[in-house]
């Protein structure tokens, strides 16, 4: 809080006109708030979208997990996806077990086009499935059923769909039911 007050006082003394944006203020005060607010600004396609992306990049370059996660999500699933860069950002957050970063990194790698890597995606899904991520079990089941990153293995896919369903993933339940039909 003090840091923010000092910055505002410095702006007044230096004669800077205009009040800094809420995003700028959040980034002065707290890195977690900065990452959250920047992600919201980008999702809303707000006027500070470019500044918000710069803030996320700054945070990620400083190895801040939330900054890397949010930057990766924007790049992986935003308006203009850059899957290869998204995988790098999400991997940094995954390395420190930040939230769903490993699951999201796998989703980026499992996608089509630039940055696709079925082998890494399958390995991440398997690790997260073993940790109890129902969505990871379901997505790995889908990959195994179709032979993405390895041989087709329908019984293993059914087991993975069942595990996803047991964990509460509705897509896993539907796919498991289809395998039984």
pLDDT one-digit tens code per residue, 78-121: 888 888 999 999 999 999 999 899 999 999 999 877 788 999 99
Q: What's the CA gap between 141 and 20, in Å, rounded?
A: 49
Residues 6+ apart with CB under 8 A from 137: 125, 129, 160, 161, 163, 164, 167, 169, 172
pLDDT above 90: residue 23: no
Q: Which residue has the higher pLDDT, 133 or 10?
A: 133
DSSP state of 96: T
pLDDT at 3: 53
pLDDT of residue 20: 56
Q: How far apart (Å, rounded) are the C-alpha atoms in residues 42 and 23?
A: 11
Amino acid 149: pLDDT: 86
Q: pLDDT for 140-158, tens place per residue?
A: 999 999 999 889 999 999 9
Tell me the average pLDDT across 39-62. Answer: 91
In the prediction, which pLDDT does 55 show?
92
């Amino acid at each position: 809080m003090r840091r923010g007050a000092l910055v505002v006082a410095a702006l007044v003394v230096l004669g800077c006109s205009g009040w800094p944006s809420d995003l700028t203020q959040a980034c002065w005060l707290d890195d977690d708030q900065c990452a959250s607010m920047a992600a919201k600004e980008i999702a809303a396609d707000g006027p500070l979208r470019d500044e918000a992306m710069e803030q996320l990049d700054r945070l990620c370059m400083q190895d801040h997990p939330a900054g890397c996660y949010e930057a990766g999500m924007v790049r992986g699933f935003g308006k203009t996806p850059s899957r290869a860069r998204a995988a790098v950002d999400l991997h940094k957050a995954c390395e420190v077990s930040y939230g769903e970063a490993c699951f999201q990194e796998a989703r980026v790698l499992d996608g089509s086009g630039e940055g696709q890597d079925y082998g890494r995606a399958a390995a991440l899904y398997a690790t997260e499935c073993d940790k109890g991520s129902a969505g990871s079990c379901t997505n790995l089941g889908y990959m195994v059923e179709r032979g993405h990153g390895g041989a087709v293995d329908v019984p293993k896919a059914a087991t993975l769909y069942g595990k996803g369903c047991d964990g509460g993933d509705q897509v896993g339940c539907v796919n498991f039911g289809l395998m039984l039909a």
